[in-house]
Structure 1
Amino acid sequence: MVRFVLDVDLDEVVGDPAEELSRILRYWAGNVKHYPFEPGATEVVSDSAYTPVGRWFITAEPAPGAEG
């Protein structure tokens, strides 16, 4: 199983968390095609103030709590 994981610490974003998460999702939705879709691919995620607030990564690990 290969998974794409986006991890954003909403307590760390500048401004309204809903607005910041919306901006992050729009940005990465358009940019993700430029990255390899293989386990180990990763990138830092920043808010509108260019402060790192998380990361996305591709993993072969099962989802937390997933059986199998």
Structure 2
Amino acid sequence: MKFVLEVDMDRFVDDADKELGRILRFWGGNMEHYDLKPGDGSMVNNSEYQPVGEWRIVEVPETSAAPGRE
């Protein structure tokens, strides 16, 4: 499995580093509420509750395994 977080930082109005930090803290603090199984995911919002990305859990084919994980 792979955890994928995509955030369009061009959609941040100000303080991109603070906004991204807020998103990471918020998601990290709420991960206990998710099963984290393939297919799980959700939109990611900025501090103004506007969508700026998404996270998702995806299956990774065996041939795409990371180096050293064979």
2:2 aligned with 1:3: yes
Q: How many residues align?
A: 65
* Equivalent residue, structure 1, for 2:36: 37
SS of the equivalent of 2:10 reads coil
Using the size of structure 1 for normalisation, the TM-score is: 0.84
Shift of 1:61: 2.8
Aligned-pair distance for 1:37?
1.3
Secondary structure of the residue aligned to 2:11 is coil
Instruction: Determine the C-alpha separation between the residues in 1 that align with 2:66 and 2:34.
Output: 29
State the TM-score, normalizing by the size of structure 2: 0.82
Q: Aligned equivalents of 1:23 and 1:30: distance in 2?
A: 11
Which residues of structure 2 form unaligned runs of 5+?
none
Show structure 1 runs of 5+ residues with no match.
none
Q: Deviations over 1:24-57 (max 9, x none)?
A: 0000000011011110001000000101000000
Measured on the aligned residues, the alpha-carbon RMSD in Å equals 2.0
2:57 is equivalent to residue 58 of structure 1: yes
Deviating runs (4+, > 2 A) in structure 1?
65-68
